[in-house]
Amino acid sequence: MTLSHNSQPDKSCLTLPLLSPMASTLSRALFGAVSLFLVLVVPRALQGQPLPDTLTFERAAVLLQQHNPQLRAARARAQAEGRAAEAASRYPNPTLSVSQERTDLPQGVDNQWYTSLRQSLRYPGEHGARSRSADATQRAAGAMVEEERTRLYNELRHRYLDVVAAQVRVDVLRSFAGALQQAAEAAQVRYEEGDLGTFRRARMQVARAQYENERADAERRLRDARIELAYLLLPDAQATLDTVAALSEYRVAGAMQFRPVNVDESTALRRALRQRGAVQAALAQVDARTADLDAATYQRYPSLSLSAGPKRQSLPTSTTYGYTAGLSIGLPVWNGGRTRVEAEQGRRRAATATLEATRRRVEVQVHDAVERLQSYRDRIQTVSEDVLVDTDSLGADAQFVYQQGEISLFELLDAIDAAKQAALLRLDLTAGYLRALYDLESAVGIGPTDDALVIEGALRPRTADLR
């Protein structure tokens, strides 16, 4: 992409020499035309860009909620389930019937018309149970939307970090490839002077090829990470392979940061059981199945329905009007409602077991995230900040002393490789630490609209707040 929200026109192309009044007039006209183009055309072009040249995490979170199809599907399912439950909880519709009874008589015709409105009745407790079931089903559907939003928010954080880490990896490998290129040039000088043999020169060339291969592979992974992130955020009309492939050069803002965070596992678990969407949905499902069981118990009682309506009777000698009224009672003789009650009891047991399984799954997720968080924190503090503390300048120092002839080629290559491995190890440890933080907040139930517990956005750790 060549345009960005922060792009500025090249001022040199707007400067014209003042050779004459006519040239001055032409320059002012040209400047006005260019300004009009920048005001009217460039913003429209920017609006058509699927993503900005530099994508912030805050902007990515907004795009996720606006365009992600999985989140839209979850919202649609929740709405459909909620409306269906509400429709099932309402009173059944009344039935209107019109009938005619005709009898031929010796003196004429006996013609009778009946209009009747029939309404099935529910026991007060049955209707209340159905209403509670509908409310609980709607709560469960809403909680599942929050669970899906939390899951997608965690996936966004992971994909955003993948791009950041891939960018850093490419920069590291490019710097070491450049260092190896300089070392290769120094080795070539020594080779031409006769101080370096053919086999050692070949060893340098192989090392250079390996570094170039690693750099190219890291650049490919960076392009793939950008594409995967874009697919998560783009609207349907732009989520095509051609459009996404054209976005392979955008960058994401931010740098990975390490800040040691201590999290109490029991406190995090209590917060998760209180806030997690999956737990709230399972609790609501238990409430819904309990209400369905209460409603099913009324199936053992006789069913009631009322009917009433006007009547018209026409005889050869007169016409009379009246009404009909009746009460219908359905007797639970062959099906006493026991099987319906047993079925609802089974559904409630299944919902209760699902709730327990959900609680266990959440507890395992919180425990795993806390364990990984502590492990990466300790490793970073021990390895990166202690063992590898003096390796930042190892490659440059080795290259300098090699040019002075104080170390051999193999010692130079070993030093450059060690410095590269140290830099990549720091990167991997920090990325693993941040991913553990993401998974911890996701296990607790933190979504894009919730306050951060241990990390703000995608890359900034903070002191844990699990109240």
Domains in the chain (CATH in brackets) are 51-461 (1.20.1600.10)
- The two three-digit tokens of residue 324, written as one number: 């009909």
Sort 352 into a burial class: Cβ within 10 Å, 0-12 / 13-18 / 19+. middle
Q: Averaged over 316-340, what is the pLDDT?
A: 84
Q: What is the pLDDT of residue 46?
A: 33
- The two three-digit tokens of residue 363, written as one number: 């507890």
Regarding predicted confidence, which is higher, 253 or 26? Answer: 253
Q: Averaged over 282-297, what is the pLDDT?
A: 95
pLDDT-based confidence at residue 28 (cuts at 50, 70, 90): very low
pLDDT tens-digit series, residues 41-61: 333 333 445 567 788 999 999
Regarding predicted confidence, which is higher, 129 or 27? Answer: 129
Q: Averaged over 320-326, what is the pLDDT?
A: 90
In sequence order, what DSSP letters do the residues of 367-408 get, joined into one string?
HHHHHHHHHHHHHIIIIIIIITTT-TTHHHHHHHHHHTTSS-
**C-alpha to C-alpha distance for 201 and 187, rounded to whole angstroms:** 7
Pair 272, 279: CB distance under 8 Å: yes
pLDDT cut 90: percent of the chain above it = 41
pLDDT-based confidence at residue 349 (cuts at 50, 70, 90): very high
Residue 34 confidence (pLDDT) above 60: no
Residue 31 confidence (pLDDT) above 60: no
Residue 6 confidence (pLDDT) above 50: no
Quote the mean pLDDT of the chain. Answer: 81
CB count, 10 Å around CB of 421?
13
Pair 113, 312: CB distance under 8 Å: yes
